[in-house]
Amino acid sequence: MIPKKLNSRIGFGTASLHHINSLSSKLNLLDTAYDAGIRYFDTAPLYGHGNAERTLGHFARKHRSQASLVIATKVGLTPNPLVSKFPKLLFPYIALRKATTATHIASSAFWQPKRNYSPSYLIQRVELSLRALGLDYLDVVLLHEPTVLELQTIDSLIEAILSLKQRGLIKSFGISAQLSSAQWLQSNSPELAEIIQVEIPLQLTEANKNWISVNATATFGHFRLQPAVQSVITSEDRLKRVVKQAVEINPTGTILFSSTKNSHINSFVSAINEADTTSTGS
């Protein structure tokens, strides 16, 4: 069961990749995902403030001859420019953020990334991401968690996106966001919603579940759905519950997850494959 748009039943997210210290260990993790059959890799400039894109670039160039590999990055939530320029500042930056929020010297809102969904920033960010990844083009570019309010003027992006496509710099465009934003974009600017990557809401109505199963290209946030039971059941049972629900919600698209442990990747892939086989068999 391999979705055509992203060429991978399971996708791997790189939001936590910078928590691994060595580049070789990061690449080993990505290789484990690749060897397990994962072909869709999701990143963003914000993840590690450029660290994830650079690491994924090393990996992607190694496997780029494989036509099946799909790389997605994002635009909208901006990385810290100083940390992006000087990568060695990443861990001091993280430590400072934790210390100032823990002691209430600065609020968590102070550390929130700036948001920019303008056409000029889109073009600039795509060019920067291409350099960071070391690639000639991006398979997918996604709006990174815009609110419905921020989407009100999003039509201004159409010309910029067409320009990037004509230059051969991107193949597909879409959104990675909460359900309400994804639904709004598809209804009001469907030409900007070629790829819909949606976070599974904690309160999932039957109507929303049906919408996701029909319209979502990829889903993420599945492990958030069962936080209350994680302390009273084994990790294996929790994985089975999460996977069963993920397959029910997203029967044919890409199921996105992330981890910093190789063993978690193999366990998740095996569980999804088993759940898909059981679902198909029934």
Does residue 36 lie within any of the structural domains? Answer: yes
Please give the Cα distance from 164 to 166 (Å, whole number): 5
- Contact by Cβ (8 Å): 142, 175: yes
Does residue 98 lie within any of the structural domains? Answer: no
Question: Backbone phi, then psi, for 38, in 5-degree steps?
Answer: -75, 130
pLDDT for 257 = 96
* Element of type H or E holding 198: strand 195-199
Q: Give the 3-state secondary structure of residue 268.
A: helix
* Element of type H or E holding 183: helix 179-188
Residue type for position 1: M
pLDDT values of the chain reduced to their tens digit, one per residue, 282 residues: 566 689 899 999 999 999 999 999 999 999 999 999 999 999 999 999 999 999 999 999 888 766 689 999 999 999 999 999 999 999 999 999 999 999 999 999 999 999 999 999 999 999 999 999 999 999 999 999 999 999 988 888 999 999 999 999 999 999 999 999 999 999 999 999 999 999 999 888 999 999 999 999 999 999 886 655 555 667 788 898 899 999 999 999 999 999 999 999 999 999 999 999 887 665
Query: CA–CA distance from 65 to each of 26, 140, 217 (Å)?
Result: 20, 17, 24
Any idea which residue has 């003027």 for tokens?
153
pLDDT for 193 = 95
Q: Give the 3-state secondary structure of residue 197.
A: strand
Please give the Cα distance from 132 to 43 (Å, whole number): 12
Please give the Cα distance from 171 to 166 (Å, whole number): 9
| Closest C-alpha among 53, 57, 103 to residue 74 | 53
Any idea which residue has 């996106």 for tokens?
161
Does residue 102 lie within any of the structural domains? Answer: no
Does residue 191 lie within any of the structural domains? Answer: yes
Does residue 105 lie within any of the structural domains? Answer: no
Does residue 203 lie within any of the structural domains? Answer: yes
| Closest C-alpha among 280, 212, 282, 281 to residue 249 | 212
| Angle, helix 51-63 to helix 23-35, in steps of 10 degrees | 50
pLDDT for 71 = 95
Question: Counting beta carbons within 10 angstroms of the beta carbon of residue 64, is it exposed (0 to 12), middle (13 to 18) or buried (19 or more)?
Answer: middle
pLDDT for 155 = 83
Please give the Cα distance from 271 to 165 (Å, whole number): 37
Q: What tokens does 64 get?
A: 């780029």
Please give the Cα distance from 209 to 201 (Å, whole number): 10
Whole domain around residue 67: which residue ranges?
A: 10-78+113-281
Q: For position 55, which CATH number holds? A: 3.20.20.100
Structural domain tally of the chain? 1
pLDDT for 227 = 58
pLDDT for 260 = 96
Please give the Cα distance from 126 to 193 (Å, whole number): 17
Does residue 93 lie within any of the structural domains? Answer: no
Does residue 92 lie within any of the structural domains? Answer: no
